[in-house]
Amino acid sequence: MATPTPSATSGPVSGAVSAAAAGTWTLGDRTVNRVGFGAMRLPGTAAFGFGAPRDRDQALGVLRRAVELGVNHIDTAAFYFSPLRSANELINTALAPYPEDLVIATKVWAGRDPSGEWQWAEPGRLRGQVEENLRQLGRDHLDVVALRVPPSRRDGSIGEHFAALAALRDAGLVRHLGISNATSRHLAEALEIAPVVCVQNPFGIGAPAEQRDLLRACGERGIAFVPFFAIAGEGGGDGPGPGTGDGEIEAVARAHGATAAQVRLAWTLAQGPHVPSLGTAP
């Protein structure tokens, strides 16, 4: 059955908990509620839109319901697509004309060709990726664009790519910059080039010390640390990976009449006021 599709601008539902209940943080000059929505699984049932395509009406209803419940921070990417669905197109269809307080963040450097094969853009091709997001979302600028660092650059430089993205900000196509799947070294390098408003990294219960250190460093600089896979791992499982105390989490959830996902989300938000978290499509 398709999810009901209430108006995207009708305001919070009576009796429901608003995303604003967790407080707010800033992304540059934009204020967002700390509970946001990640669109990765919106087009399909698996990570990055792979898997069976979502029911279109259900996907549109999820987006409208999220905004109705106070979500004003949506994370997406042009490479979130299945053979029949595109996250950006679904967002455009469900929510345009966009509420004034809605912040849409996207990512570049990573890309996928029509067959789904991964591609990594050279610095000169980042403008094309930004313009593709603009076209799909139906906007003349992007609120936040994060540079998605490929695994091959984990120990390498991102300076040339980040400088190219900063030039697009100077040209007015992008308002604010972030980095994704990044290290402390990447953050330091990026800050030498332009302001960074967010770091988007996998993070949840059981996160390694390196990620916890980066989270603290972001807080010291007033930079949002935006976890993904805090509730569901990349492969679709509950949590960011094995060995994360699932039994203990289930016990805490039962004691509080909550779900394991709610416990994971609450723990993530408790890591600091600068930690907004992205839920995801069910």
Determine the 3-state secondary structure of 278 from DSSP: strand
Burial 112-135 (b: 16+ CB within 10 A, else e): beeeeeeeebeeebbbebbebbbe
Dump strand ranges (E) for 188-282.
Answer: 198-202, 224-228, 277-280
- CA–CA dist 147, 149 (Å, integer): 6
Locate 117 and state its tokens: 């094969």
- CA–CA dist 48, 246 (Å, integer): 25
What is the Cα Rg of the chain in Å? 18
Alpha helix ranges (H) inside 1-85: 56-68
Query: What burial class does residue 210 get, using C-beta atoms within 10 Å of its C-beta: 0-12 exposed, 13-18 middle, 19+ buried?
Result: exposed
In 10 A of CB 52, how many CB atoms?
11
For the chain, the residue count is: 282
80 is catalytic: yes
Which one is catalytic: 25, 80, 81, 98?
A: 80
Alpha helix ranges (H) inside the chain: 56-68, 87-95, 126-137, 159-170, 184-191, 209-221, 246-255, 260-269
- CA–CA dist 109, 146 (Å, integer): 9
Nearest Cα neighbor of 78 from 29, 139, 124, 28 is: 139
- Catalytically active residues are 80
